[in-house]
Amino acid sequence: MTNLNDIHIDTNEVLKNIVNKDNQYTIPIFIPHLGCKNECVFCNQRKISGASSDVDIEEVKKLVEERLKSFKQNRKIQIAFFGGSFTGLDKEEQIKFLKLANTYVEKGVVESIRISTRPDYISKDILKLLKRYNVKTIELGVQSMDEEVLLESKRGHTSLDVIRAARLINLYNFELGFQIMVGLPKSTKEKEIETIDRLLKFKPKQLRIYPVYVLKESQLYEMYKKKDYSPLTLEDAAGRVAEVIGRCRKSNVSIIRIGLQSTEDISENAKDLIGPVSDNFGEYALSKIVLNEIIKNIPKEKEGSDEINIYIPKRYISLAVGPKKANKKYLEERYNKKINIIGE
């Protein structure tokens, strides 16, 4: 007779930090590479580094108005300046954007403003300016806290810059967010775990995490061609992201993005992209998190049983089974038992 091991996985608890973004509308304003004078090896826009803004303020206004009209439900709205190093822009330029965004905050139409920038572009004066215009959230592009990785990636800042910037941002009472990457040159799983552990000490509210893709026309592509850099496999990248997110379980940080947003240039079909590219990277990583949790909950030995029943909330069944049933197959091989994944 078959003895069944029943295991119940509290996926809601496991994935609680992964924010359901449906509770807020974001109006993204992209200012690509604006204000950045750096040459990170994974970035392919260095040719236009330091270029001044050609984002027309009237266009931004039009975009905001259009987006505002399109929102149907009563949710909080945030204007977010993405894509560049906002505080590296000329002060006048920053003020131009902030003033516009702040008019909507003052009218009560928009709840908050977010900017993203580099750790070495934060100072007391900069923070005072952002405060004046009601910026709520500052996202720091950290990428790694390992000096060798930062150097090899030509980030142009050190981990000390991150520490200094994060402390100041907290001191001035902004909401702090971090962006980090897995698979940077000279990085390892251990370095990525150390990075997140060090960053969590600053009690960030939000985290974005990306796997490194090799873009043609980037320095990383040259390194790749010379075999000085090997991108992660999709399997490894998803596994490393899952490990990092696993470290966030006991914190209050919300994981607001896993993997780059798919676009025409960033997709499985894009020919100029090498690395762990998947249009469903986030799903891959989440399914690894669920897999790790299942493994943690399977007792080492249960004599006599030849099947394991894993009960999981219905909405998470596909994450538990994994892409192309990868998790189920892996578990069956690892435990040499039949694995039944059952919704409850």
Q: Should residue 209 be labelled a site residue for ligand SF4 when binding is judged by CB under 6 A?
A: no
Q: How far is the CB of 170 from ligand SF4 (least distance, A)?
A: 22
Residues 45-74 touching ligand SF4, rule: CB under 6 A, are: 45-46
Q: Should residue 118 be labelled a site residue for ligand SF4 when binding is judged by CB under 6 A?
A: yes
Residues 150-179 touching ligand SF4, rule: CB under 6 A, are: none
Q: How far is the CB of 231 from ligand SF4 (least distance, A)?
A: 17
d(CA 254, CA 116): 16
Q: Should residue 85 be labelled a site residue for ligand SF4 when binding is judged by CB under 6 A?
A: yes
298's tokens? 């399977």
Residue 336: how many other CB atoms lie within 10 Å? 8
By CB under 6 A, name the one of 33, 114, 288, 328 that touches ligand SF4.
33
Question: Which H or E run includes 140?
Answer: strand 135-143
Q: How far is the CB of 253 from ligand SF4 (least distance, A)?
A: 21
Site string for ligand SF4, 256-295 (x = CB under 6 A): ----------------------------------------
Our CA angle for 66, 97, 72, nearest 5°, is 25
Q: How far is the CB of 278 from ligand SF4 (least distance, A)?
A: 21
Q: Should residue 137 be labelled a site residue for ligand SF4 when binding is judged by CB under 6 A?
A: no
Q: How many residues bind ligand SF4 (CB under 6 A)?
A: 11
Q: At what angle do helices 91-106 and 124-132 cross, to 10 degrees?
A: 30
DSSP string, 163-221: HHHHHHHHHTTPEEEEEEEES-TT--HHHHHHHHHHHHTT--SEEEEEE--EETTSHHH
Q: How far is the CB of 38 from ligand SF4 (least distance, A)?
A: 4
Q: Which stretch binds ligand SF4 (CB under 6 A): 31-39, 158-166, 174-182, 233-241?
A: 31-39
Nearer to ligand SF4, 85 or 187 (CB): 85
Q: Should residue 38 be labelled a site residue for ligand SF4 when binding is judged by CB under 6 A?
A: yes
319's tokens? 């994450």
> What's the N-to-C CA distance of the chain in angstroms?
25
Q: Of the candidates 295, 260, 250, 207, which has an alpha carbon nearest to the alpha carbon of residue 42?
A: 260
Our CA angle for 277, 278, 279, nearest 5°, is 130
**Binding residues for ligand SF4, per CB under 6 A?**
33, 36, 38-40, 43, 45-46, 85, 118, 141
